[in-house]
Copies of this chain bind each other. A is one copy, B any other.
Amino acid sequence: MARATGKSEAVYERLKGDIESLRMRPGAKLSEVQLGEELGASRTPVREAIRRLAREGLVDFVPGEVARVAAISLGGVRALFEFRMLLEPRAAASVATAGSADERVLAPFHELLERLEVFDESFRALDSAAQVGSYQQFYDITEAFDQAVIAACRNPYLARTIRDLRSQTVRLRHLSHSGPRRMLTSLEEHRAMLKAVTHGDAQAAEAACRHHLAQTLQALIDSLTSQDLTFGTDVSLDVAG
């Protein structure tokens, strides 16, 4: 059963999902033995999964100590987005550039733009209650966009670094669901990014991506600071940093 890497991968995916979805609260202990028993694996795959998650920033890991689900801090969120704003606009621009040289790389983005337009139309026809129900559909599109950028990214270092940051972003999204209004503006931002990329306009893609990240960060901060009483001690929203 060796070369399959089944257990280790399974434990990793399971833990990642539990942490991203906040089923495991920030600060919760991640005991290797305990997790192993719960997930039906021995310590070895659990150890490996914890190390991988620590690399992605989903786990706070200090060598001798018990690993914990990574805390969420306002400073950490700002740093994350500052870093993303350095990487992702560049990646979007490079995809746009590559697209104008080779049309084939644009195929996924044309398709996504189409999906987005279809979704937009149906979304606007719903009342607010039904709109909330279609959140997941929208997230799927945005997630597909991010993955498409990563896949189309020529520079493997850039692609890997952006990918490693995805899971943290996903968790933050679970932490603060934004309202329909933010969703509509986000939709518009994605349309702008997609149009820029499909038109091969690197500069516009870069600017659109930067703008989208800035808006997302702002919405996130608004949401976190207004909810800090709700989450309070649970989420360990330490403002340090």
Contacts and interface: CB of A to CB of B under 8 A. Distances in A.
A64 B4 CA distance: 7
A86 B87 contact: yes
A157 B51 contact: no
A158 B83 contact: yes
A161 interface: yes
A64 B3 contact: yes
Interface in A142-167: 154-158, 161, 165
A2 interface: yes
Contacts of A157: 57, 79-80, 82-83, 165
A222 B139 CA distance: 47
A156 B79 contact: yes
A48 B83 CA distance: 27
A62 to B, nearest CB: 10
A68 interface: no
A133 interface: no
A118 to B, nearest CB: 35
A105 to B, nearest CB: 16
A16 interface: no
A11 to B, nearest CB: 14
A83 B64 CA distance: 33
B158 A5 contact: no
Contacts of A154: 79
A174 interface: no
Contacts of A82: 155, 157-158
B83 A155 contact: yes
Nearest to A63: B5
A14 interface: no
Interface in A1-54: 2-5, 48, 51
Closest 6 CB pairs of A and B: A3-B64, A83-B157, A5-B63, A79-B155, A82-B155, A83-B158
Given A79-B155, A83-B155, A86-B86, 7 more contacts: A3-B63, A48-B51, A80-B157, A82-B155, A82-B158, A83-B157, A161-B161
